[in-house]
Amino acid sequence: MNDVAALEFTRQSAQPLPAERRAELLAMPGFGDTYSDHMVTVRWSAEQGWHDASVGPLAAFSLHPATMALHYGQTIFEGLKAFWRPNGQRALFRPADHARRFNSSARRMAMPTLPEADFVAALEALLRADGDWVPRVRGHSFYLRPFMIAAETHLGNRPAEDYLFAVIGSPARPASSATPKPIRLWADTEHIRAAPGGTGAAKCGGNYGGSFIAQRQAAANDCDQVVWLDARERRYIEEAGGSNLFFVESSVHGPRLRTPPLSGTLLAGVTRDSILQLAGTLGYPVAEEPLTLDDWEQGCLEGRITETFACGTARAIVPVGQVVSAQGQWSVGDGTAGPVTSRLLEALLDTQYGLAPDDFGWMRLVDTDLEED
Ligand SMILES: *Cc1c(COP(=O)(O)O)cnc(C)c1O
């Protein structure tokens, strides 16, 4: 991080959920259906810049019907996790990288940027207040959702002049068990997620709203997620729903990882970047090279592509077992998690849970308030 936190957060404690009820929720967290006691909010206006930073009880916003975010879609978000460490500390995974991506989304959407140090300070403020919400079981984690919306009340079709930044948190279900269940991907050749020059590289709300129709189609074809193809030719693989894709190519020289390059139409996943770095440590060569849907199918049929996995913050690494398209379907390998996928997943989780040295300086330790330890 190249800046110093400037915001001072006022703090108002929430009436915490009774410890027993919290324990019940932590024992069986879903994803995004349970929230911790507090939230962080910070306001921005053209005159005052960032101001009114606070940590307070989680509460509903009151929005005027002409709030610009509701009409023109200036909304961006991030998603990252905090993990319980063997020494009782909590640690955020690569928060500065999420700060940088948040700001690049903000620039694309003509929204104000938040200094990286303030973004990280906001995450830490929530984690300090809600440290008891970080589950203590490997695989479980605390998901933080920073986001920003255009908060000005106006119907002018232009960038807003007031914004609201907030962070909420939610305990999250196991990222993956030792052998995560392989997913089935639906190759959509009808819709596109992003086109060159568009917003595909930004984590902005509209990208998701525009993709749900294909997700529905995927579900109708008994698939878990969509694999998106490029807008121009509908041939090149881009990514899968909210995750990036990796292919394991095997030859007499051993396995090699291949992933589509950051062309501007896919989201630059922090998990993707982490895997590119971990692969080096584990001795797997990596290539950021385009791959067509046909080459993927041929590669699988001929045994050149032996594994494929999806990666993202929410589920870490998940193997892809089958691919389905309007033309037919095929299996990747024998349809189960392969050895390279499993090794990368273990290496990633070991780093996150503090069981392996943090060689890349990814973990940011945060001391939190705890009721009891
Ligand atoms: C968030 C996201 C990813 C994964 O990014 P991570 O930083 O690894 O969580 C991939 N694709 C899309 C479309 C996303 O929104």
- How far does the centroid of ligand 1 lie from the alpha carbon of residue 80, in Å? 10
- The amino acid occupying position 165 is F
- How far does the centroid of ligand 1 lie from the alpha carbon of residue 292, in Å? 21
Domain 183-336 in CATH 3.30.365.10: no
Please count the CA atoms within 13 angstroms of the CA of 248 that sit on its side-chain side. Answer: 24
User: Can you tell me the mean pLDDT for 329-341?
Assistant: 95
Longest CA–CA separation in the chain, Å: 63
- How far does the centroid of ligand 1 lie from the alpha carbon of residue 243, in Å? 5
- How far does the centroid of ligand 1 lie from the alpha carbon of residue 276, in Å? 15
φ, ψ (nearest 5 deg) of residue 295:
-65, -35
Q: How far is CA 129 from the centre of its chain?
A: 22
* For the chain, domain boundaries: 10-175+358-366, 183-336
pLDDT of 256 above 70 = yes
Place of tokens 């494929």: 308
Confidence of residue 137 (pLDDT cuts 50, 70, 90): confident
pLDDT of 3 above 80 = no
Residue nearest to atom 15 of ligand 1 (CA): 242
* Percent of the chain scoring above 90 in pLDDT: 86
Q: Comparing 27-31, 212-216, 247-251, 349-353, which segment has the lowest mean pLDDT? A: 27-31
- The amino acid occupying position 20 is E
Q: Comparing 28-37, 285-294, 352-361, which segment has the lowest mean pLDDT? A: 28-37
CA distances from 49 to 6, 9, 281, 291 (A): 12, 15, 43, 44
Closest CA to 268 of 156, 105, 92, 128: 105
Q: End-to-end alpha-carbon separation of the chain, Å?
A: 31
Confidence of residue 138 (pLDDT cuts 50, 70, 90): confident
168-202-313-338 Cα dihedral, nearest 10 degrees: 160
User: Can you tell me the mean pLDDT for 236-251?
Assistant: 96
The per-residue pLDDT for 27 is 81
pTM of the model: 0.96
User: 337-368, pLDDT tens digit by residue?
Assistant: 999 999 999 999 999 999 999 999 999 999 76
Confidence of residue 372 (pLDDT cuts 50, 70, 90): very low
The per-residue pLDDT for 87 is 80
Confidence of residue 275 (pLDDT cuts 50, 70, 90): very high
- How far does the centroid of ligand 1 lie from the alpha carbon of residue 214, in Å? 17
318 and 182 Cβ atoms separated by less than 8 Å: yes
Assigned token pair, 181: 């269940």
Assigned token pair, 66: 């002409």
199 and 264 Cβ atoms separated by less than 8 Å: no
The per-residue pLDDT for 373 is 43
CA dihedral over 296, 302, 304, 305, signed as positive or negative: positive
Q: What's the CA gap between 328 and 239, in Å, rounded?
A: 20
193 and 320 Cβ atoms separated by less than 8 Å: no
Residue among 203, 265, 273 to mutate when testing ligand 1 (max atoms within 8 A of CB): 203
Atom of ligand 1 nearest to the CA of 241: 13
Q: Fold match between 10-175+358-366 and 183-336?
A: no
Closest CA to 235 of 184, 297, 287: 297
User: Can you tell me the mean pLDDT for 145-165?
Assistant: 98
DSSP 8-state class, residue 273: H
In three-state form (DSSP H/G/I as H, E/B as E, the rest C), the secondary structure along 43-85 is: EEECCCEEEEEEEEECCCCCCCCCECHHHHCCEEECCEEEEEC
136 and 23 Cβ atoms separated by less than 8 Å: no
User: 69-82, pLDDT tens digit by residue?
Assistant: 999 999 999 999 99
DSSP 8-state class, residue 243: B
- How far does the centroid of ligand 1 lie from the alpha carbon of residue 78, in Å? 9
Comparison of pLDDT for 138 and 311, the residue scoring more: 311
CATH placement of domain 10-175+358-366: 3.30.470.10
Confidence of residue 127 (pLDDT cuts 50, 70, 90): very high
Assigned token pair, 3: 């800046």
pLDDT of 327 above 90 = no
| Residue ranges lining ligand 1, Cβ < 6 Å | 79, 203, 239, 242-244, 267, 269-272, 312-313
195-291-310-148 Cα dihedral, nearest 10 degrees: -20
SS3 (DSSP) at 348: helix
Q: What's the CA gap between 89 and 116, in Å, rounded?
A: 22
* Percent of the chain scoring above 70 in pLDDT: 96
Q: Comparing 136-140, 247-251, 321-325, which segment has the lowest mean pLDDT? A: 136-140
Confidence of residue 50 (pLDDT cuts 50, 70, 90): very high
